[in-house]
């Protein structure tokens, strides 16, 4: 077993020559290169489960060591998220089972995409996009979607970093403040590392679960549609449905999402912008954090990370954010409802289409452990809670207006259905006609005003003599 230097630091540096690294002496022995779970104090080993699973304990300690190393590193990311640590953590989650997509599987996905396009041509007025569906590994999904995750999560992480810095600075003993030097930078690194590790864990689990680039309702990979081949195969296990049919249904859904986002350019920016605005408006319960920080055991840095998993930094929502969340959930429901309806029309030749439709509905409505972790992390659930109501609305519009009329609703944000429309689909057209009549009346009144004639009165006409004399009086004239 490798031995650490006498000062218990793996790198051999002397704490006296590095006053900004006082915690290394505290954690060096515990997390040095020669770490052995059996050398832990019995009470700590029992609490963390080392006796039951030494391998899991070793992995956990390696993660904690990586987090602490990132915190103390002068080269750590200056942003609110340590994305290298996030990527490393995500990789640990999915790398053990992420095979390359075989040539046969790629060919099957390509063939399914061609057939899906033919079927969707008869189910929607939206044309197919220019980008073909790609075959992804889990790592490829992570790489393709990382840019969007950065936009969504960094505003939340910034608030977390500020909260950690403020809370932990207040807990530093006076005798240690001189040793810490730039405590703000160190604690920001800590916050970035904590958030990065927890976010990486959540994204790693999502990478093992999502079926494609739009599986949670957002265009995570931009305009490029893709299918995570391993996950689609795992999804079909236990359904007792032919694998080719499961794959085709997943490709149909991904293709339908892609057509919608390509044909309605304002939709992507509206969704991502709503999430970003929601994230920027969060605030953290500082008193709760300060209480938790006071209770942290310095010999257990894993407790720092666990605070995130317990929802300690879950944002406290304001009324404005509640309203924004309602609008976001409505938009997600309309997207998922449209896709659900269109795919059901396109997949009528599939023997198990009804079964797959219901399975997908329940999957999207309930989410999974990874989505729950993400919700606890950023205080936001990306679930279409009213998917069934939205699908019923699109079905009604299809029967009433046909394919062209149904899809024309997406032409402008102002035409989009409301919560009332989800509750009463049959009244959608009447409400739109009444709104159009009110707009026409307003347009006529505005035209009269601009022409100088409103209710028969010309504001430019000569005023009555009394009024004219009154207007001509000089306000400075004392006789007036």
Q: Is there a domain that residue 200 lies in?
A: yes
The mean predicted confidence, pLDDT, of the chain is: 76
Summarize the confidence of residues 314-321 as an average pLDDT.
68
Give domain status of residue 412, yes or no: no
Q: Is 464 helix (H, G, I), strand (E, B) or coil?
A: coil
**Residues 64, 81 within the same domain:** no
Sign of the torsion formed by the C-alpha atoms of 146, 236, 224 and 258: negative
Identify whether residues 82 and 61 lie together within a single domain: no
Residue 283 domain flag? yes
- Residue 297 pLDDT greater than 70, yes or no: no
113 near 232, Cβ under 8 Å? no
Distance CA 424, CA 238 (A): 37
Per the DSSP assignment, residues forming a β-bridge with 134 are 226
Position 415 in a domain:
no
> What would the mean pLDDT of 103-119 be, rounded to a whole number?
96
Stretch among 246-255, 289-298, 339-348 having the lowest mean pLDDT: 289-298
Closest residue by Cα to residue 231 from 387, 223, 216: 216
d(CA 117, CA 121) in angstroms, rounded, equals 6
- Mean pLDDT, residues 74-99: 84
pLDDT digits (tens, 9 = 90+) for 405-451: 999 999 988 889 999 999 999 999 998 888 766 655 566 666 767 77
Place of tokens 């504001």: 459
**Same domain as 370, residue 306:** yes
In a domain, 385, yes or no: no
What's the pLDDT at 30?
A: 32
Is the domain of 155 the same as that of 87?
yes
For residue 397, is it within any domain?
no
Establish if 244 belongs to a structural domain: yes
Predicted pLDDT at 49: 44
DSSP codes joined into one string, 184-222:
HHHHHHHHHHHHHHHHHHHHHHHHTT--BTTTTSS-TTT
Q: Which of 215, 231, 213, 233 is nearest to 223 (CA)?
A: 213
Whether 9 and 107 share a structural domain: no
* pLDDT over threshold 60, residue 33: no
Domain end (from 41, 72, 103) = 72
Same-domain status, 355 and 465: no
Q: CA 333 → CA 99, 112, 387, 417, distances in Å? A: 33, 26, 5, 11
Q: What is the percentage of the chain residues whose pLDDT exceeds 70?
A: 60
Confidence of residue 21 (pLDDT cuts 50, 70, 90): very low
Query: Which of 46-60, 106-120, 448-462 is predicted with the least confidence, judged by mean pLDDT?
Result: 46-60
- Please determine, for residue 37, whether its predicted confidence score (pLDDT) is greater than 70: no
- Is 411 a member of any domain? no
Runs of H (alpha helix) within 54-173: 54-72, 83-94, 103-121, 138-170
Q: Of 324, 353, 378, which residue is a domain's last? A: 378
In this predicted structure, the answer to whether residue 296 has a pLDDT above a threshold of 80 is: no
What is the radius of gyration, based on Cα positions, of the chain? Answer: 30
* Count of the separate structural domains present in the chain: 3
Q: Do both 60 and 83 map to the same domain? A: no
Percent of the chain, pLDDT > 90?
38
Last residue of a domain, one of 324, 347, 378: 378
In a shared domain, residues 12 and 99: no
- Domain range enclosing 224: 76-378
Residue 58 is predicted with a pLDDT of 58
Asked which of 55-59, 189-193, 347-351, 471-475 is least confident by mean pLDDT, the reply is: 471-475
For the ranges 151-165, 336-350, 446-460, the one whose mean pLDDT is highest: 336-350
Q: Are residues 155 and 202 in the same domain?
A: yes
Do 67 and 101 have their domain in common? no
81 and 67 in one domain?
Answer: no
Alpha helix stretches (DSSP H) within 208-349: 229-236, 243-263, 265-280, 286-294, 302-309, 319-346
At residue 398, the pLDDT reads 97
Q: What is the pTM of this model?
A: 0.72
What is the reported pLDDT for 13? 42
Mark whether 175 and 294 lie in a shared domain.
yes
CA neighbours within 13 Å on the CB side: how many for 107? 3
């Amino acid at each position: 077993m490798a031995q650490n230097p006498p000062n218990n630091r793996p790198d051999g540096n002397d704490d006296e020559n590095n006053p900004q690294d006082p915690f290394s002496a505290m954690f060096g022995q515990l997390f040095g290169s020669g770490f052995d779970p059996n050398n832990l104090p019995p009470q700590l080993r029992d609490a963390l489960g080392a006796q039951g699973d030494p391998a899991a304990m070793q992995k956990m300690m390696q993660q904690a060591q990586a987090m602490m190393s990132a915190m103390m590193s002068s080269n750590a990311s200056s942003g609110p998220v340590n994305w290298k640590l996030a990527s490393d953590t995500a990789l640990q989650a999915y790398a053990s089972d992420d095979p390359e997509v075989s040539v046969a599987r790629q060919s099957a996905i390509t063939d399914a995409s061609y057939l899906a396009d033919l079927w969707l041509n008869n189910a929607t007025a939206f044309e197919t996009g220019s980008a073909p569906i790609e075959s992804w590994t889990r790592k490829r999904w992570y790489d393709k979607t990382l840019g969007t995750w950065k936009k969504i999560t960094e505003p939340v992480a910034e608030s977390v970093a500020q909260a950690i810095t403020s809370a932990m600075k207040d807990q530093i003993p006076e005798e240690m403040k001189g040793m810490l030097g730039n405590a703000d930078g160190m604690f920001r690194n800590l916050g970035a590392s904590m958030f990065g590790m927890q976010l990486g864990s959540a994204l790693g689990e999502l990478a093992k679960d999502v079926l494609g680039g739009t599986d949670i309702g957002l265009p995570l990979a931009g305009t490029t549609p893709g299918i995570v081949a391993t996950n689609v195969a795992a999804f079909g296990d236990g359904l007792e449905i032919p694998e080719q049919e499961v794959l085709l249904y997943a490709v149909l859904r991904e293709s339908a999402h892609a057509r919608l986002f390509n044909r309605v350019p304002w939709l992507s920016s509206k969704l991502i912008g709503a999430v970003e605005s929601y994230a920027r408006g969060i605030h953290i319960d500082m008193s709760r954090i300060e209480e938790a920080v006071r209770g942290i055991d310095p010999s257990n840095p894993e407790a720092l990370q666990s605070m995130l998993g317990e929802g300690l930094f879950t944002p406290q929502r304001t009324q404005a954010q509640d309203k924004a969340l309602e609008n976001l959930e409505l938009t997600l429901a309309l997207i998922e409802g449209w896709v659900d309806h269109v795919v059901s029309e396109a997949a009528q030749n599939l023997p198990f289409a009804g079964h797959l439709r219901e399975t997908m509905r329940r999957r999207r409505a309930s989410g999974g452990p990874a989505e729950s972790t993400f919700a606890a992390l950023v205080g936001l659930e990306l679930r279409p809670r009213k998917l069934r109501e939205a699908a019923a609305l699109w079905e009604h519009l299809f029967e009433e207006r046909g394919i062209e009329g149904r899809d024309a609703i997406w032409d402008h944000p102002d035409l989009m259905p409301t919560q009332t429309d989800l509750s009463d689909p049959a009244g959608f057209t009447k409400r739109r006609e009444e709104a159009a009549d009110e707009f026409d009346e307003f347009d006529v009144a505005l035209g009269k005003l601009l022409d100088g004639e409103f209710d028969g009165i010309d504001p430019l006409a000569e005023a009555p003599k009394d009024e004219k004399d009154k207007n001509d009086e000089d306000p400075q004239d004392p006789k007036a």
